[in-house]
Structure 1
C-alpha cells in the first residue's frame, strides 16, 4: 500500500468501492496533501490549479461526515461561475453514489429563482452555487445555513477578481462559526490571505504545482505585427489541424472578432464572453465539449470551469497581464500526461512580457517562425453535430431515454451517439455528422416517455 492509495485514508468500504468504480486509482498531489487534513476536520487552504483533482479533495471529506438522515443543508460550495458550479455539483453526485439519498442542489443566477425556491422547500444536503444567487436566497429567507458543517470556497481567487469578496463574507456570516472551511485557489494573493484570516480557524496550508508538466506541453511564441494576428492564428489552425482548440483573448470584443474571422475562413468556431445570455453560454460550452465546434474563443473569466480532457491546442491571442494566468491557460492542454501544444501570438510592444514568463518557467523561450507555417490545408471541421431537444430534467429526461429513442428498432448505431448533456429545460445530444439528419427526424417525429418534443440542430 502506498501513500497515494485511497486505501490509506479513513474512508469506509462503500466510499472506496465507489472511487474504484469511478476510476479513481491513485491520489493526485493535491488530494494526497489535503485529504488527510480535511478528513480530520481542520480548516484548509489549498493552492491548486484547475485539472489537479481538487473537487474530490473537498468533496470526499464533506461527504464522509455528511449524515443523509439529517435532511437539512450541511455543506455549501461557492463557485465563481455557473459553469463551474454545475461541473462541481455533477462530480459531487458521482462521488456520493456510495451513500443513499444524498440531495445536491445547484443555485446559480441566469435561471428563474422560483423553481429553486420550490426545490429548497423539499430539502437538500449540499448546495453548490454562485455568491450572487446564494445571497438572493438568503435575503428571501429561502435558504437556511444555520446548521452548516462545511463551507467550501472553490476558485476563491476568481471570486475575488469578480468582486464577490463582500458577498462571500456575508454568506459565511449566516453559518455557524464552528463549521469547517476549505478554501481552494489557483493563486494566493494578499486579498485571499486576508479573507482566510477573517473566515477560518488556524487553517493548514498546502500547495502543489500545476499538474501539467512542461515536458508534456510544447510552448511556442510567435512575434507578428498586431494587424497580422488574425492571419497568424488562421495559419496556426491550418498548419496544426487541431480538432479542439481554445483561443484566449483579453477582451470580449476580440472574442467576437476572432471567432467571426475563423468562421469566415471556413472553420468551426464559437465565442464565449460576458455578453451572452446564460442559455447561449450553456449552448456554446456544450457544443465545444461535444466536439461539434472545433474552436472555442474565450476570455479568462468566461472560460473558468471549462474542463475538456483532450485539448489539442491552446492559443494565447494576447499575452495575459499576469504570468500565472498564462500558466493557467497553457495548463488546459497536456493533461493526465498527454502531449499538448500551446502557442502565444504577441506583437513587438508585448515582447517585454516574455521575460516574466521565462523567469517563471525557468526555461528559455522557444520561438516559431510564422513563415514556416503551412497554410494550404483547410481548417478542421467537426465530425459531430449537437442536437438540441426542448426537454430536460424537469421533464424527467435521462441520458438513457435519449439513447434509447435513437438506437431502438434498428435506428442509429450506439457508436454514432456521443456526449449527452441534460439541463433543466433542454438537452443536447452529440450525433455523428453522417447520422444527424436521421437522428433529428427520429427525435422530432418519435416519442420520448410517451411525449413529443421539438428538436433542432444547435448553432
Structure 2
C-alpha cells in the first residue's frame, strides 16, 4: 500500500507535450495526492486500485492514463469507463473531453440508461475511441453486438463500491468477460470492503494499491453529536434543521423507505425537502438533482448509495439521521461540507444503540466526540428557497440552448441576467432557476416569447 499526501508537478510525468500544455491551460499545475500516487503506476501500464473520495481528482488520474495509451489513428473503442450513474458518467465524459482538447479528431461517447437506445446504436456505428457508460446499458450494447470490445486495452471502474451497492456485480462480470484478457484495469473506490477485494482478484493482475486521505487543509468542518431517544429522532431532526437552517442541507438516511418517509415528514413541516434514493426513475432523479443544485429546494434527504457522485459544490450542512456502520462512510458524508475554505457543519443524531458506531468513528478520526443538547427550533417561520425552477418542454432535440433561454428571459420587459440561476438542458426538456421574487415575470416571458422561433410550454416545478 502507498499512503501519500505529497503533490508534484505534472511535468515530471512522461506525458505528451500537447497534454501537458493543455493541463497548464486548464490550471492543473500540481497533482493532487491521488494523482501523484497513482499516475506513475498507471502510465507504466500497471493495474491500479485507488482508494479516494469524490473530489480527490481521480478522474484526471485515470483520464490521463486513458489518453496517454490511446492510438487516435486507430478508430475503434480502446478504453471503457464504467460509472454507477448517468450523472457521474456525464461528469466523467465532460472531464475527459476537457483533458483531450489538444488531441485532434478524438471521439468520446457516453452510453447510459435513460437515453434513447437507437440513437446510441447509430453513434456506435460512427465509431469512438473511449466509451463512458453505466453497467446496465454497456452490457446491453455488448450483448447485442453493438459495442466492439476487441480493441479495448484499458478498463476503468469508477466508484466501484457504489456499483456493487447498486447490485451490478453480475453485470460487471459479464462485461469484463467480453474484454480482452490482456488489458490494463484501473479501479477507484471511496471505500474498500471485502467485495471490492474479491472483485480486484477476479478482474485485475497484480494491482498496485494506492490510498490517500481526503484533503481538508483548506476547509473547516465543525462536528456536533446529539444523543436522543429513538422515539425523538424525527423531532430532533426538525429542530436541528430549523436551528442551523441554510441554503443547501443534506440528510443521510440508511434505507430507501426511511429516506422517503423523512422527506415526506419534513415537507409536511414546511421544509422544501426532496428525497433521493434507488427507487426513483432516472427522470425523477434528474429533476430532484436539478432542483436541489439550483437552490429551489433546501433539503435533500438521501441514501449513501444515491448520493455518491453528486456534483453539489457548496453544502452548508450535513446531518446523519443515523450513524453509519462504516466509519469511512461517515468521513465521506461529512466531507461534502466545508469545501474550498468554507465553514461547514456536520450534525449526527444517535441513540444508546449506536454507541459502538460512535466509538468506531472516533477511532477512525482520531478524536473524541461528546453529546450535546438538541438545539431549540426558532419561533420564526422557515425561509423559502431563494430560487424557483421553471421547466420548459423543449431541450437538445429541439435545439434549445442555455443562451436561447437567457435571451428570452432578459428581452424587453424581462428580468436581469443576475436574477437567473443554473440552467440545465436535457434531450426533451430544460430547466432554469430564477429568483423567487421575479418568477412570475420570467414565467410570462417564456409563455409569450419564443425559443428557436417557436413557443414552448413552461411550468413551475413543485
Q: In which range does the TM-score fall when normalised by the shorter chain?
A: over 0.9
Are 2:280 and 1:283 equivalent residues in the alignment? no
Q: Deviations over 1:404-459 (max 9, x none)?
A: 33234573322122222222222222222222222222223222222322222222
Give 1:32-431 correspondences, 5 Å limit.
Answer: 32-212=36-216, 216-370=220-374, 372-409=375-412, 411-431=414-434
1:159 shift after superposition = 1.6
136-145 or 400-409, larger mean C-alpha shift: 400-409
Q: Distance in 2 between matches of 1:18 and 1:404?
A: 32
Q: Deviations over 1:293-319 (max 9, x none)?
A: 111001111112112111111000111
The TM-score normalised by the length of structure 2 is 0.92
1:374 shift after superposition = 4.3
Preserved contact between residue 238 and residue 378 of structure 1 (Cα < 8 Å): no
Going from structure 1 to structure 2, the CA distance change for 1:218 and 1:448 (only over 3 Å counts) comes to same
2:449 is aligned, of 418, 433, 446, to 446
Q: Distance in 2 between matches of 1:238 and 1:103?
A: 49
Q: Distance in 1 between matches of 2:161 and 2:46?
A: 21
Going from structure 1 to structure 2, the CA distance change for 1:70 and 1:215 (only over 3 Å counts) comes to closer
1:21 shift after superposition = 4.2
Q: Distance in 1 between matches of 2:23 and 2:436?
A: 35
Q: Deviations over 1:27-86 (max 9, x none)?
A: 211112112222233221111111211111111221233344433212111112222222
Are 2:419 and 1:437 equivalent residues in the alignment? no
1:24 shift after superposition = 3.0
Going from structure 1 to structure 2, the CA distance change for 1:41 and 1:411 (only over 3 Å counts) comes to farther
291-300 or 403-412, larger mean C-alpha shift: 403-412
1:269 shift after superposition = 1.0
Q: Distance in 1 between matches of 2:69 and 2:25?
A: 21
Going from structure 1 to structure 2, the CA distance change for 1:393 and 1:94 (only over 3 Å counts) comes to farther
347-356 or 293-302, larger mean C-alpha shift: 347-356
Q: Distance in 1 between matches of 2:145 and 2:289?
A: 33
Preserved contact between residue 219 and residue 340 of structure 2 (Cα < 8 Å): no
Q: Distance in 2 between matches of 1:172 and 1:303?
A: 26
1:282 shift after superposition = 0.4
1:208 shift after superposition = 0.1
Q: Deviations over 1:222-268 (max 9, x none)?
A: 01122221221111112112111110111222222221222222221
Where in structure 2 are there 5+ consecutive unaligned residues? Answer: 1-5
Preserved contact between residue 238 and residue 380 of structure 1 (Cα < 8 Å): no
Preserved contact between residue 218 and residue 341 of structure 2 (Cα < 8 Å): no
Preserved contact between residue 387 and residue 433 of structure 2 (Cα < 8 Å): yes
Going from structure 1 to structure 2, the CA distance change for 1:399 and 1:161 (only over 3 Å counts) comes to same
Q: Deviations over 1:356-380 (max 9, x none)?
A: 111111100132211x434324334
184-193 or 59-68, larger mean C-alpha shift: 59-68
Preserved contact between residue 255 and residue 273 of structure 1 (Cα < 8 Å): yes
The number of aligned residues is: 457
Coordinate RMSD, CA, aligned: 2.2
The TM-score normalised by the length of structure 1 is 0.93
Q: Deviations over 1:113-158 (max 9, x none)?
A: 2222222222222221111111111111111111112210001112
Preserved contact between residue 219 and residue 342 of structure 2 (Cα < 8 Å): no
Going from structure 1 to structure 2, the CA distance change for 1:137 and 1:432 (only over 3 Å counts) comes to same
1:106 shift after superposition = 2.2
1:274 shift after superposition = 1.9
Q: Distance in 2 between matches of 1:330 and 1:145?
A: 39
Where in structure 1 are there 5+ consecutive unaligned residues? Answer: none
Preserved contact between residue 318 and residue 334 of structure 2 (Cα < 8 Å): yes
Q: Deviations over 1:162-206 (max 9, x none)?
A: 332232222122222232211101122233223222222332221
Going from structure 1 to structure 2, the CA distance change for 1:111 and 1:351 (only over 3 Å counts) comes to same
Q: Distance in 2 between matches of 1:122 and 1:425?
A: 23
Going from structure 1 to structure 2, the CA distance change for 1:417 and 1:154 (only over 3 Å counts) comes to same
Q: Distance in 1 between matches of 2:73 and 2:12?
A: 27
Q: Distance in 2 between matches of 1:455 and 1:70?
A: 46
Q: Distance in 2 between matches of 1:266 and 1:365?
A: 31
Going from structure 1 to structure 2, the CA distance change for 1:362 and 1:214 (only over 3 Å counts) comes to farther
